[in-house]
C-alpha cells in the first residue's frame, strides 16, 4: 500500500523544482504558464501570482485534457508550465499528473510564500 510520502517521492523524482527567484525572472520575461493549484479559499486569503491560471489540484486532469469540455486553453502540452501551491507538495503531485498526461515541460516552483518573499508580482 502506498503512503502520501510514496506519492510525493514519485512526483519529486519526475517534476523538477525551481527556486522562486528564478521563477520570478521567468514570469518577468513572459515565459510559460503559471498555475496555482490551491483552492479558491487559500487564494482569496493570500492572493496568487499575477496572471496565474487558477486550477485546483482536483480539477487539473479536466482542465489539462484538450479533449474535455472543461479544458483550459492556456494548458498546452508543449508550453512551459510552472506549478505553485502553498508549500510545494500539491504542486509536485499536480506536476506529476501533467507529466503523466503528456506535458513535457512542467516545473514545481514551490510555495506561494516563497514567491512573495522573492518579490514576485501578485494579484488578489
pLDDT for residue 82:
98
Q: Are 86 and 111 in contact (CB under 8 A)?
A: yes
Please tell me the pTM assigned to this model: 0.97
Residue 33's CB: how many other CB atoms inside 10 A?
A: 18
User: Any idea how long the chain is?
Assistant: 124
pLDDT for residue 95:
98
Q: pLDDT per residue over 23-41, tens digit each?
A: 999 999 999 999 999 999 9
36 bridge partner residues = 54, 84
Cα angle: 91, vertex 100, 12; to 5 degrees: 40
85 bridge partner residues = 111
pLDDT for residue 40:
94
pLDDT for residue 27:
98
Q: pLDDT tens digits for the chain (124 residues)?
A: 999 999 999 999 999 999 999 999 999 999 999 999 999 999 999 999 999 999 999 999 999 999 999 999 999 999 999 999 999 999 999 999 999 999 999 999 999 999 999 999 999 9
- Which residue in 98, 96, 94 sits closest to 85, CA to CA? 94
Amino acid at each position: 500500500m502506498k503512503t502520501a510520502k510514496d506519492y510525493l517521492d514519485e512526483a519529486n523524482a519526475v517534476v523538477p523544482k525551481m527556486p522562486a527567484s528564478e521563477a520570478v525572472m521567468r514570469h518577468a520575461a513572459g515565459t510559460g504558464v503559471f498555475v496555482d493549484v490551491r483552492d479558491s479559499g487559500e487564494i482569496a486569503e493570500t492572493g496568487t501570482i499575477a496572471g496565474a491560471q487558477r486550477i485546483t489540484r482536483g480539477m487539473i486532469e479536466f482542465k489539462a485534457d484538450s479533449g474535455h469540455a472543461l479544458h483550459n486553453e492556456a494548458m498546452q502540452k508543449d508550453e512551459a508550465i510552472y506549478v505553485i501551491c502553498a508549500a510545494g507538495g500539491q504542486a509536485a503531485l499536480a506536476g506529476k499528473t501533467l507529466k503523466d498526461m503528456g506535458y513535457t515541460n512542467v516545473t514545481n516552483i514551490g510555495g506561494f510564500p516563497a514567491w512573495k518573499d522573492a518579490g514576485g508580482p501578485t494579484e488578489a
